[in-house]
């Protein structure tokens, strides 16, 4: 499982990744709820629900590489379907893609579950 993660950055880079995860997760939840209220169609309704659930996973830092890639795919789907402002979806897809490539950082559930373990000798 560690091969999915590039690093678990700590210090200021880890804080920066945590901020990026929080901003992305909150934006995904807001975007999902906003478009969910407009009820554009059944297929888009499914994509909004998926996007909101992925936002929760991103907020927690759980399965970040897989979740980030799924965010990118779902947001491109939403942008191409023409629901709402396409630039919001493009921005969220970009943020999801960068999180998939960079990893979750040390301040995440992924770091606790899959990070390097230090054994005292």
What per-residue string of b and e applies to 45-59 under the rule 16 or more CB within 10 Å gives b?
eebbebbbbbbebbb
Q: What is the pLDDT of residues 30-79, one digit of tens each?
A: 888 876 676 656 666 788 888 889 999 999 888 888 999 999 999 898 88
Q: What is the pLDDT of residue 45?
A: 76
Considering its fold, how many domains does the chain have in total? 1
Domain contains 114: no
- Full residue range of the structural domain in which residue 18 is found: 9-107
Tokens at 39, concatenated: 């009820």
CB atoms within 10 A of CB 1: 9
Q: What is the pLDDT of residue 94?
A: 96
- 36 exposed, middle or buried (CB, 10 Å; 0-12, 13-18, 19+)? middle
Apex 104 CA angle, 28 and 48, nearest 5: 20
Q: What is the pLDDT of residue 90?
A: 93
Domain contains 112: no
Domain contains 102: yes
Q: Is 119 helix (H, G, I), strand (E, B) or coil?
A: coil
């Amino acid at each position: 499982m560690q091969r999915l993660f590039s690093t678990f950055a700590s210090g200021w880079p880890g804080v920066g990744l945590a901020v990026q995860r929080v901003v992305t997760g909150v934006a995904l939840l807001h975007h999902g709820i906003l478009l969910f209220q407009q009820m554009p169609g059944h297929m888009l309704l499914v994509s909004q629900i998926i996007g909101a659930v992925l936002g929760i996973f991103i907020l927690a830092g759980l399965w970040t590489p897989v979740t980030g890639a799924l965010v990118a795919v779902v947001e491109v789907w939403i942008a191409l379907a023409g629901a709402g402002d396409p630039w919001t979806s493009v921005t969220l897809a970009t943020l999801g893609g960068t999180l998939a490539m960079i990893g979750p950082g040390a301040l995440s559930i992924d770091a606790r579950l899959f990070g390097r373990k230090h054994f005292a000798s």
